[in-house]
Structure formats: C-alpha cells, structure tokens
Structure 1
Amino acid sequence: MPYFDDINPIALSLGPIAIHWYGLMYVLGGLFGWWLGKRRLAEGRLPATYEQYADLIFYAMIGVIVGGRLGYMLFYGFEQIRADPFALLRVWEGGMSFHGGLLGVLAAVAYWSRKRGIRFFDTVDFVAPLVPIGLGLGRLGNFIGGELWGRHTDLPWGVIFPRALDHLGKSHEELVALYRAGQLNHEARHPSQLYELLLEGVVLFVVLWLFSAKPRRRYAVSGLFALLYGLFRFSVEFVREPDVQLGYLALGWVTMGQILSLPLIVVGIVLLVASRRQPLPAAPVPGAPAQQ
C-alpha cells in the first residue's frame, strides 16, 4: 500500500506563531553551511577572517530568501504579481525558487567579494560545496509539507499527498478513511522531493566536498556544481508534476524547471572548460586566519 503523507507541516506552535518545518530547514541549511565553511576557512581556503566569513554567510542567506521569493514570483507567479503586487511580500504563503535563490546568492557573493577585494569566482568556488546540504534539507521540507509532488506512479514507493487531492472535495478525515480502505492507491505519486533530496542534496554534496578537498583550478568547483545540479534537476522534472499555473511549456513534456536548468548545464560546461586554462592554485596554509 502506498505511503500516506500525513506529516504535520508545523513543527512548533507558540500561541499564534506557527513555526513550519520548511522554515526550520532554511535555518538548518544555513547553520550546516556556516559550520562546513568554517572548517574550510581554518584550512586557509579563503583569505578572510571569521568575522568577514560570517558576513558572507549572512549576505548569502539574505540572497537566498530575497532571490528565491523574487525568482518564484517572476518565473512561476508573474500573473499573480500583475493582479496583486503585494503577493510578492506574502512569503508565508509559500513559493521559493532555487534558480532565483541562486541569483540572489551570486549577487550577495559579488557584493561581499568586491568589498574584500577577492576575485568573484574564488568566493563562488569556496561557497559551492556548502550549498547542497541546504538544498537537500529544503527538499525534505517540501516533502514534509506535502508540496511539489511528482506525477502518478504505480511503483511500490509511491506516496499519496493529501494536498494533491483537493479536487476531490473531501475532508482530511474522509481522505484517511478512503486511504485505509485502499481506495486512493491510484492517486500514488512519485516522491520527487525525496529524489531531489538524494541527488541535489546527498550526491551533489558528496561529489563537491570530495572534489574540492584538494585545491582546484579556478572555476572548476563552480562549474561542477552548475553542471550536476542542472542535470539532476532536469532529470527529476520528468517525474515531477509541473506547476499547475504553467503546465508543460513545450513538446508536451518540457517544464519551467527544465528550461531554467538548461543555462546551468551550459554554464557548468563552459566553466569546466575555462578552468583547464587556469593555473594550479598554491596549496592552502592551514590554520585560522588572523583576526582583524
């Protein structure tokens, strides 16, 4: 029998304040990224103090939130903005875009790097291996929240998402009763959030972390990140339900996620090729950077 995704999306309630698992995943992703980066900073991988590094992580988190929200509304909800511009500010209603968040992070990195006098891609190469853990946790938050589900499947690991059954007009109790009677088995869907957790989170992190364990030519780590994420996201989109407000954009199967991932694949290849013309970097000097 398929699994019924009946997890409470609210992790903690403090009176009128509800803390959702999805929001906690952003916090955990930021903390993990900060901790991993701190380890690399102590190895002399970035010419910055701990205080400057903390600023970088803070700017990056702001870039994720602002860029993610702007990207979602521009890529997936532009008509909603036209009808109600204030919808852009209602972040509690959900809606974040990885591609928009990526642009936000790159803008934050560019600002920080310019202030520090560090080459942009040296910072991006440092940050790239810190990102997948946050991506994976975000996809786990999507699964807990029962959103961004996959297409229908009869595979044994299919999942029934109650939010995908709103068209039935049933209460939660009625859906549970139908599930227990085996009458919702045909509504099982690919847990595409967990596929992305595995690929964009676990696999991407392991590959990038191990690849960047040794000094690499400039652009190489960034290029590998862009190429692998683009390929993983493009592939999972084949089993992920397209956004209802957009549907398929071409050929009866092309989604917005695939269109936005194609430039990443191209950029990744270009950066990897360009990295081959860069000199080998000097070995980093271990030890915490001097405080200022």
Structure 2
Amino acid sequence: MLVHPQFNPVALDLSPIGVPLAIHWYGITYLVGFGLFLYLANRRIRQPQFAATGWTRRDVEDLLFYGVVGTVIGGRLGYVLFYKAGYYLQHPLEVFAVWKGGMAFHGGLLGVLVAMALFARSRKRHFLEVSDLVAPCVPTGFAAGRIGNFINGELWGRPADPSLPWAMVFPQAGEPSVPRHPSQLYQFALEGMLLFVLLWLYARKPRAMGQVSGAFLFGYGVLRFVAEYFRQPDSFLEPQPLGLSRGQWLCVPMILAGIALWLWARRRAAAAPTAQPA
C-alpha cells in the first residue's frame, strides 16, 4: 500500500532572496496545458481543412487568450452555482476569492464555449469550425491539471481494497489508515491522455463540421462518468439520485449533446449538395 508523498505545493519560493513571489506546481501545470494547446493547435491549422480557410498562428494565440478568460470565469462561476450555491449566496463577496480555490470543469467548459462563440463572431467564422479545431487540443490540458491535483493531494479517490497494488493513503483526507484510489491519475489517463489519442486520431481525417466537437463531448462525458466511480464526492454535497455523483449527473447532458451533435453533423453533410463536374 502506497502513501501520498505530500509534495510541497510551492515549486519555487523566491521570498528568501527578497522577492515576494511563490510559484505553485498547479500554476505550472496550467502553463504546461496552455503551452500544449498552442503547439497542438498550430499543428491543427496546418491540416488541409483548416489551412484552406486561412487560419494563422495569430488566430491560435488569440483563441488561447479567449479560452483562458473563459476557463477562469466559467470554472469559478460553475463551482459557485453547481456545488456551493447556498454558501456563496450567504457570502457573495467570496465568489471573487479565487485564491481560496474552487473551480468546476463543467462551468469552465461553458465559459470556454462562450469564449469560442465570441472569437468566432469576431473572426466571422462558424462556431463549429472553431470548436472542431480546438477539441483535440484540449485533453492534454486536462491531463496536466490532473497531475496538479495529484501533487496537491486533492480530489482523492474513494476507499480501495488494500490489496490493490496502487492503493494509496492520502493523509490530507483525514483518514490516514484508509487506502484510496488515486483517482487523479485515473482521470489523467482517461479524460486526459486516452481522450487525446482517440480524438487526435479521429480528427486527422476531414470530418463533417461538428462531428469532432460531438465526439469530444461524448468521449469526455463517458470517460469522466467512469472516473467518477473512483473519485470521492465532495463532502459538502448531498447524496444524488440513483447513487450517482454530481459530476456524473453533469456528464449526462454532455453525452447526450455529443451524440445529438454528431448525428446532426452527419445528416447535414449527407444532405448538402455535392458539386458536379463541369
């Protein structure tokens, strides 16, 4: 049975040399995620279906800026509304205390969707063209974030059989003798690396506009739904219907939306008139 190493969340503390700055591992993982997005998106715009419509490196950089803003605002508001609405209703000023933590993926996703819509409008591009470009470039950012969760020893898993070779005790959980699933690493592998590989391979060939986005919604929803069986639900949440977690219920509309979008895109492409040779 393993024990979480309890890493120092501060990767580099400059205060001993008179600089009031501490660089956290979690911040580094965010930077890694953004850097991977730039690299992958710049590879995507060189693919024929995007190169033909004039995408540039400047577009990718601007899109990243929109996405960062959408992630931060949407992730924070999602946490406030989806998970602790009652608390923040009583303490409204703490909504802005982002340094205390509290971000929600599903809220971040909604924020990114709004940001992409604004970007698409500013560039006079179809929203689904933008989302199809972005979708395969996102899971590596999820993977980086989950490594940050593991380093911080947060979002630990449910209790596990002590005979499980990688069962891990998280002293931060307040139960130092209870082995748990290292669910952060499960999510790194599933909704991070596995989803990236599947989407990247799927998106290498030209697809009907909207199909890559639909595949992303479906794939993330399914893989996150599975991972939630191993992740310990937040203690402040009430039991959810059917024994599912709040995260699983939030994945259901993603899965359904992904299926609907993929089927709609396929029908739309099939119904489009094809050019006849002269």
Match of 2:38 among 22, 34, 37: 34
Deviations 1:143-191 (A, max 9, x none): 11011111111222111112101xx6xxxxxxxxxxxxxxx4x411111
Mapping 1:178-257, distance limit 5 Å: 184=176, 186-251=177-242, 253-257=243-247
Deviations 1:30-51 (A, max 9, x none): 1110111011223352533322
Query: In 2, are the aligned partners of 1:129 and 1:212 still within 8 Å (CA)?
Result: yes
Give TM-score, length-normalised by structure 2: 0.90
Query: In 2, are the aligned partners of 1:242 and 1:248 still within 8 Å (CA)?
Result: no
Regions of 4+ moved over 3 Å? none
**Aligned-pair RMSD on alpha carbons?**
1.6
- Point out the more displaced range, 104-113 or 272-281: 272-281
Match of 1:159 among 161, 168, 172: 168
The equivalent residue for 2:7 is 7
Partner SS for 2:12: strand
Match of 1:272 among 251, 255, 262: 262
Q: Say if 2:158 is the partner of 1:135.
A: no
Deviations 1:195-240 (A, max 9, x none): 0000011100000011101111111111111011111111111121
Compared CA separation, residues 5 and 250, structure 1 to 2 (3 A): farther
Query: In 2, are the aligned partners of 1:3 and 1:157 still within 8 Å (CA)?
Result: no
Match of 2:99 among 83, 92, 95: 92
Between 1 and 2, higher relative CO (CA 8 Å, sep ≥ 6) is seen in 1
1: CA distance between counterparts of 2:223 and 2:166? Answer: 20
The equivalent residue for 2:126 is 119
Give TM-score, length-normalised by structure 1: 0.86
2: CA distance between counterparts of 1:160 and 1:17? Answer: 31
The equivalent residue for 2:79 is 72
Matched to 2:259, the amino acid is: I
Query: In 2, are the aligned partners of 1:136 and 1:196 still within 8 Å (CA)?
Result: yes
1: CA distance between counterparts of 2:45 and 2:4? Answer: 43
Deviations 1:32-89 (A, max 9, x none): 1011101122335253332222111110111111111111111112122112112111
2: CA distance between counterparts of 1:217 and 1:132? Answer: 21
Partner SS for 1:276: helix
Matched to 2:168, the amino acid is: V
Partner SS for 1:135: helix
Query: In 2, are the aligned partners of 1:151 and 1:240 still within 8 Å (CA)?
Result: yes
Q: Which segments of 5 or more consecutive residues in structure 2 lack a partner in the other structure?
A: 273-278
Partner SS for 2:269: coil
- What is the Cα deviation at residue 104 of structure 1? 0.7
Matched to 1:34, the amino acid is: L
- What is the Cα deviation at residue 24 of structure 1? 1.4
Query: In 1, are the aligned partners of 2:4 and 2:153 still within 8 Å (CA)?
Result: no
Give the percent of matched residue pairs that are identical in Structure 1 and Structure 2: 47
2: CA distance between counterparts of 1:143 and 1:237? Answer: 15
The equivalent residue for 1:180 is none
Matched to 1:237, the amino acid is: E
Partner SS for 1:6: coil
- What is the Cα deviation at residue 266 of structure 1? 0.2
